[in-house]
Amino acid sequence: MLPLLASDTIHRRFEMPLTPLEGRAELRDALAFATRSIHGGPGPDPTTGAILTPIHQSTTYVQEEVGRHKGFTYSRDTNPTVAALERALGSLEGTPPAVCTATGMAATSVLCLATLEAGDRVVLGEVVYGGTFRLLAEILSRFDVRVDRVDSSDPNALRAALREPARLVIVESPANPTLGLCDLAAAAEAAHAGGALLVVDNTFMTPALQSPLEFGADVVLYSTTKSIEGHNATLGGALLSRDSDLLECFRSVRKTLGAPQSPFEAWLTLRGLKTLELRMARHSSSALQVARYLAKHPSVARVANPFLEDFPQRELARRQQRDGGGMIALELEGGTPAVLEFLRSTRLFSLAENLGAAESLVTHPATMTHGSVPPAERERLGLGDGLVRLSVGLEDPNDLIADLARALAAAGGAR
């Protein structure tokens, strides 16, 4: 792990208004998630009474004298609006304030540069976000970091991989885009046996639906770009942990790397948090309804959503998730021509990357998010040309089903 820079220890304590729940764990723990997501950030602005934390669009902060300031010096290090988001996220996860970054990939970069050294080994889930794979396999490998990929849906495969020591184990559950689950408690045990930290990319679930730290994970990573902000409006990332030293190390690397969250994006993300539980409940119930419809459709070869009745890891899904989430993986009969026609024919589902927002989206992983995975590898991992990923939005589910019915009819005609 990188040693802390001396200057980082000076301004740990921000002179910001206390959040209504801060320092009062017993009060926070007694409140339900929806209440914490509204009251977990800082209280009203002390100078004006504004109920929302203002957007502090300022690069620098005037110091009273050398070494005396209010906890903020330069916004590449930290910014009051970003700090408010970090405290709100920490309150939801039951941790110290998060470390918020410019994008999800910036969070992954900060994580890796803070924890890895030349010669280190990383065990990476086989099915993960394409950018995570590229960072490790194409960039960090040049700095003598070794990456071994393992089927993270198989606890025995993880245990076998960790017989050799590693520094990090990075997994997603559900994985993007196949929705395979990782048994997080078993993964934590395997990682710790190999001397590694378990990092869970919890982007698909958000803190509303899954709490990896409770299963023994050491670090939770988010692309807040997705469901946490939830309106297709921002890019952002976050790292959370119960280990304050590790968080300080992330802060130090974020500052040096120059990858902080921006105040406006942080403000929009704070706003997104307030409806997170409502949105995730709606995404989940609509996705389940849509998946049940698709499961019965003759043009559909396979459909997956973790809470669907015949999902292979349904028991694990019930054990570690509070709901199924808004994502569906879908394979069509009729191969590439049918898929292309389907992607041309939806009207409410827009063909786009991103997920977890109000607008329903459809993605073709083989040519879009996972285009950099070699074709043979894609086939082996279940990311073939026939795979379609749906992000079920907040529209009325019956309208979404009608849209898919029309597109499936068109795709059937293309066979």
State the residues that interact with ligand PLP by CB under 6 A.
103-105, 129, 131-132, 172, 176, 201, 203, 223, 225-226, 235, 237
Residue nearest to ligand PLP (CB): 104
Q: Which listed residue (8, 70, 76, 318) is catalytic?
A: 76
Q: How far apart are CA 375 and CA 369, in angstroms?
A: 13
Please say which residue, 16 or 147, places its beta carbon nearer to ligand PLP. Answer: 147
Q: Which listed residue (121, 149, 167, 226) is catalytic?
A: 226
* 129 given a catalytic annotation: yes
Q: How far from 345 is each of 193, 390, 399, 402, 406, CA to CA, in Å?
A: 50, 14, 14, 12, 7
Q: Which listed residue (77, 120, 201, 403) is catalytic?
A: 201
* 76 given a catalytic annotation: yes
Q: Which listed residue (120, 121, 129, 183) is catalytic?
A: 129
**How many angstroms from the chain centroid is the CA of residue 408?**
30
Compute the C-alpha angle 46/48/52, nearest 5°: 80
* 201 given a catalytic annotation: yes
Please say which residue, 201 or 323, places its beta carbon nearer to ligand PLP. Answer: 201
Please say which residue, 122 or 235, places its beta carbon nearer to ligand PLP. Answer: 235
Instruction: For 146-207, give the DSSP string.
Output: EEEEE-TT-HHHHHHHTTS--SEEEEESSPTTT-----HHHHHHHHHHTT-EEEEE-TTTHH
Cβ 254 vs Cβ 260: under 8 Å: yes
Smallest separation (angstroms) from ligand PLP to the CB of 193: 25
- Helix axes of 104-115 and 244-257: crossing angle, nearest 10 degrees: 110
Please say which residue, 40 or 356, places its beta carbon nearer to ligand PLP. Answer: 356
Smallest separation (angstroms) from ligand PLP to the CB of 132: 6
Please say which residue, 176 or 262, places its beta carbon nearer to ligand PLP. Answer: 176
SS3 296: coil
Please say which residue, 270 or 408, places its beta carbon nearer to ligand PLP. Answer: 270
> Hey, which residues does 124 pair with through a beta bridge?
149, 170
Instruction: For 136-162, give the DSSP string.
Output: IIIIGGGGT-EEEEE-TT-HHHHHHHT
Smallest separation (angstroms) from ligand PLP to the CB of 228: 10
Smallest separation (angstroms) from ligand PLP to the CB of 377: 18
Smallest separation (angstroms) from ligand PLP to the CB of 25: 30
Enter the tokens of residue 299: 């043009």
Q: How far apart are CA 157 and CA 182, in angstroms?
A: 11
> Which residue has tokens 């990682």?
191
Cβ 239 vs Cβ 110: under 8 Å: yes
Enter the tokens of residue 308: 């669907």
Would you name the residues annotated as active-site residues?
Answer: 76, 129, 201, 226
